[in-house]
Amino acid sequence: MSSSATSTAVPVGVTFHPDTLRRVGHHGDNWCHTWAADDTIIASMDDGNWLDGADRGWNNHLYRLSGGPNEFVREDLPGYPQFVFNEGGWFGYGICSLDGVLYSLVSKCPKNGWSGPFRGIKLLKSHDNGASWQRVDRDGHERPLGPWDPARYEVSDAEMFYLEESGREAHGGLGYPFASCAVAQRGRDGQADSDGYVYIYSPEGANTHELLLARAPREALGVRATWTFFAGWDGAQPRWSSALDLRQPNHVFPEADARGDVYGWYSWLPSVVWNPGLGLYIMANGGTFGGHGMTASAEDYYHRWMHSRSGSLGLWWARRPWGPWTQFYYNDEWTVDSPDNRTYQPKLSPKWISADGQQMVLIWSDAMTNAEGRSHTVNYRWNQMAITIETTSRE
């Protein structure tokens, strides 16, 4: 089924299967991933090391997953640029596989460790299934970038694909759009693409509950001038503009929970997956609370801490990658197997989907504390669970 197919079955709810709960690896978080041409999954990990016995940690690193959801094997990708823990402040989010080429969009923090909001992205590209990597500048020019090349940390207009563009002020601070990105996952190696475009999502930097959307021609993802941005609706059709300043939210999420506690800057980066069995796009997303006080003040909204409580989880569906998005599940404070969970960054596997589309695998991060009160210790690894998408027919 192509991504232009129309289904009459639409999601109306979800059943979680905690008996399938599985936690894998040493430590790390965020877990953006893509379904590669060789039928493996390439997973981006932040702030950790997923393999036991490793001699260092990374702010961002890539791994290859081979096998099914219950028995996959993890392998290192040693040729990827080595974004060493707290050396440069680089965190990987957007990742995709297109026609055998891997792309990784790496976000730059203001400081050399975890901090925000992000300043922009460095675009990396691999023509050999992740063995070696190139840096892509905004004009599409590629330059080899070895694992320990000092240029991996370079921040300049010449090196960055986006850098501090079209900032807006809110919550007492300045944030930038497309400084962190997620890419719509359209089947193995992007082969469920039906229109020749790649769709890229980003939270609005200073108001992250506002979801932004860009698209680029599949053959020119690495040329900044080819990107156009969602600029509102013409009836039921999206309007696209080459001017980033004219961007409009494609969708709006909650700013706060039912108690009035505010979700902060590190929120609402979506996971959008084409589900061929349903003939729909399914989005998972969630908010993480702002600072220790969970207020809209700059001291909280832009604080590096955001796990005073467990984050939210929502699920939406759409017929097209630009929406409109219909919510079929939402929980302000989603926990899995303990009230002490501190869940965040929900993802959906683009590969592990049943033929009828109703069975999917949810992946997430957990900042749960240990008995001594130290965060990011218990369950701070790849967390996964099977879910069932409940559907009903709609004319």
Choose which CATH entry (2.40.50, 2.60.40, 2.115.10, 1.10.3470) describes domain 9-393: 2.115.10
Instruction: Identify the CA nearest to 349 among candidates 28, 13, 34.
Output: 34
Q: Delimit the domains of the chain by residue range.
A: 9-393
Closest CA to 101 of 34, 1, 2: 34
Structure confidence at residue 55 (pLDDT): 76
Q: Residue 120: helix, strand or coil by DSSP?
A: strand
Q: What is the pLDDT of residue 237?
A: 95
Strand partners, 89: none
Residues in the chain, total: 395
Per-residue pLDDT of the chain (395 residues; tens, 9 = 90+): 344 445 588 999 999 999 999 999 999 999 999 999 999 999 999 999 999 877 789 999 999 999 999 999 999 999 999 999 999 999 999 999 999 999 999 999 999 999 999 999 999 999 999 999 999 999 999 999 999 999 999 999 999 999 999 999 999 999 999 999 999 999 999 999 999 999 999 999 999 999 999 999 999 999 999 999 999 999 999 999 999 999 999 999 999 999 999 999 999 999 999 999 999 999 999 999 999 999 999 999 999 999 999 999 999 999 999 999 999 999 999 999 999 999 999 999 999 999 999 999 999 999 999 999 999 999 999 999 999 999 997 64
**How far is Cα 323 from Cα 183, in angstroms, rounded to an integer?**
14
CA proximity to 382, closest of 78, 94, 105, 32: 32
pLDDT at 7: 59
pLDDT score at 125: 98
- pTM given for the model: 0.97
The residues, ordered by sequence, that sit 6+ positions from 58 with a Cβ below 8 Å of its Cβ are 45, 46, 47, 48, 49, 82, 83, 84, 85
Cβ-Cβ contacts under 8 Å for 244 (sequence gap 6 or more): 165, 166, 177, 178, 229
